[in-house]
Amino acid sequence: MSLTDKIFSAGIVGCGGAGFPTHVKYNAKPEHLIINAAECEPLLRTDRYVMCNYAPEIIAGCEAALKHLGAKDCTIALKEPYKEEIAALEKAIAQNKSKVKLHTFPSFYPAGDEQVMVYEVTGKVVPPAAIPLEVGCVVSNVATILAIHDAASDKPFTHKFLTMTGEVANPTVLRVPLGTSFADCLAQAGGANIDDYFVINGGPMMGKPLTKEQALATTVTKTTSGYILLPKDSRLPSLHQTPVEHTINRAKAACIQCTYCTELCPRHMLGHPIEPHKMMRKIACGSVEAVAEDAEALNALLCCECGVCELFACPMGLQPRKVNALIKQELGKRGIRYPKQEKEYAADANREYRKIPTKRAANRAGVGKYYDYQIKHCKEFEPNGVCISLRQHIGAPSEAVVSVGDSVSCGQLIAKCPDGSLGANIHASISGTVKAVESGSIRIEK
């Protein structure tokens, strides 16, 4: 069985957040394999823990992937302040006499954006709306590489590392079965410090906002990187809960066309023709539907929604990211995609001077008080029951292959990728009895 087959069988998807099925990404012949170990978002510590404690497995996974892809080079890209992580990886590289290289850069946001990372490592600009493979690169998250190492030994993807931080009693990294409830994760972090909280599923800049009630109905998936608990009256909750109509009205009333949102946009700095200030200008003169008719509206499709414009750049506290997202949604409804451009792109000459320090990004987002938390230990936990989502990846939901009453063992296939579709297999993350098989999930209890 080839490594691609083993990756497919194990049900591996990108652990960095997007959840693209890895067996599809690895059906390629790149020149360069880049391992994203930047842990892009402030506050998250998951990837850093993995690098410190699983460095030999990561290097072995890199070697296996490198051999399978036939790439010439493999580079692990991470931030210069990650001293312990760098030392652990360098030791593992030396012990294995590996040709894997490290590439370090200052701590800036969003260093983990894959197009930004490709440029940092290779100096090549990925064209707008293209993927790294167009410049000869494949990018994988470091936790994905650890999963690939396990898959090479026929071990399926059943558990997830994640960070619990913010207003919790004991900020920690957890390793839990897929389908573990948010409530169980919170209990393992000692519970909340406040009664009425708001949750970010992921990092503070790009994570998904959840009310307390929504969070308590959430379970861990293959793309869960962490949960951040915040006071309801802090900046991020108020931004996320701003009504769409209010966002548009504020853009019409208060945008001063300073262009800071464009000047600091990471994709604009790579030479992409995205200019958020122009979208703000257009929305000031009409509706989202009207703006979508404009030829320049296509450039909104290039927004990676990193949050730099609204959480850091805008002096008026406006939300260019949300405006871009609204325009993207409208263009999506119309089936409009960004057209491929046959031209060369070059990074802006001022790019090096406009990188945003990660800690400053955290402070502007209102989460600076949690930035320096030292989270170096991992707590493993297995709940009495799990609710495993059948939608944990980009593509079609998985199809259940078990029924209510079936006894299953940890690692057993319980849902398969639909034939001929983009998707991934899903395995039982605990041993027990199937209690429910619904359209969106499978519930297993010990």
pLDDT at 270: 97
pLDDT at 342: 81
Does the pLDDT value for residue 18 go beyond 90? no
What is the pLDDT confidence band of residue 58, given thresholds at 50, 70 and 90? very high
Residue 399 burial class via C-beta count within 10 angstroms: exposed 0-12, middle 13-18, buried 19 and up? middle
Boundaries of CATH 2.40.50 in the chain?
384-446
Mean pLDDT, all residues of the chain: 96
Does the pLDDT value for residue 51 go beyond 80? yes
Task: List Cβ neighbours of 239 (8 Å cut-off, separation of 6 or more).
Answer: 310, 311, 319
Q: What is the mean pLDDT of residues 48-52?
A: 97
pLDDT at 170: 97
What is the pLDDT confidence band of residue 48, given thresholds at 50, 70 and 90? very high
Boundaries of CATH 3.10.20.600 in the chain?
158-234+367-381
- The count of residues in the chain is 446
Q: What is the mean pLDDT of residues 400-416?
A: 98
pLDDT at 235: 92
Mind listing the pLDDT tens digit for each residue in 308-320? 999 999 999 999 9
Cα-Cα-Cα-Cα dihedral sign, residues 279, 281, 282, 287: positive
Q: What is the Cα–Cα distance from 172 to 188, expressed in whole angstroms? A: 9
Mind listing the pLDDT tens digit for each residue in 121-146? 999 999 999 999 999 999 999 999 99
Share of residues in the chain with pLDDT > 90 (%): 94
Boundaries of CATH 3.40.50.11540 in the chain?
3-152
Does the pLDDT value for residue 17 go beyond 80? no
Q: What is the Cα–Cα distance from 92 to 332, expressed in whole angstroms? A: 45
Does the pLDDT value for residue 340 go beyond 90? no
Does the pLDDT value for residue 238 go beyond 80? yes
Q: What is the Cα–Cα distance from 270 to 125, expressed in whole angstroms? A: 7
Q: What is the Cα–Cα distance from 126 to 147, expressed in whole angstroms? A: 26
CATH 3.10.20.600 matches 158-234+367-381: yes
Which pTM value belongs to this model? Answer: 0.95
Q: What is the mean pLDDT of residues 224-252?
A: 93
Residue 95's nearest CA partner among 49, 47, 63, 48 is 63
pLDDT at 329: 95
Does the pLDDT value for residue 343 go beyond 90? no
Does the pLDDT value for residue 361 go beyond 90? yes
Determine contact, residues 102/89, Cβ cutoff 8 Å. Answer: yes
For the chain, give the secondary structure using H, E and C.
Answer: CCHHHHHHHHCCECCCCCCCEHHHHCCCCCCEEEEECCCCCCCCCHHHHHHHHCHHHHHHHHHHHHHHHCCCEEEEEEECCCHHHHHHHHHHHHHCCCCCEEEEECCEECCCCHHHHHHHHHCCCCCCCCCHHHHCEEEEEHHHHHHHHHHHCCCCCCEEEEEEEECECCCEEEEEECCCEHHHHHHHCCCECCCCEEEEECCCCCCEEECHHHHHCCECCCCCCEEEEEECCCHHHHHHCCCHHHHHHHHHHHCCCCCHHHHCCHHHHCCCCCCHHHHHHHHCCCCHHHHCCCHHHHHHHHCCCCCHHHHHHCCCCCCHHHHHHHHHHHHHHCCCCCCCCCCCCCCCCCHHHCCEEHHHHHHHCCCHHHCCCCCCCEEECCCCEEEEECCCCCCCCCEECCCCCCEECCCCEEEECCCCCCCCCEECCCCEEEEEECCCEEEEEC
The topology (CATH level 3) of 3-152 is Rossmann fold (3.40.50)
Q: What is the Cα–Cα distance from 59 to 101, expressed in whole angstroms? A: 10
What is the pLDDT confidence band of residue 76, given thresholds at 50, 70 and 90? very high
pLDDT at 148: 97
Mind listing the pLDDT tens digit for each residue in 146-192? 999 999 999 999 999 999 999 999 999 999 999 999 999 999 999 99
Q: For domain 384-446, which architecture applies?
A: Beta Barrel (2.40)
Does the pLDDT value for residue 75 go beyond 90? yes
Does the pLDDT value for residue 351 go beyond 80? yes
Residue 186's nearest CA partner among 159, 209, 154, 220 is 220
Q: What is the mean pLDDT of residues 252-260?
A: 95
Q: What is the Cα–Cα distance from 200 to 182, expressed in whole angstroms? A: 12
**Which residue has better confidence, 35 or 17?**
35
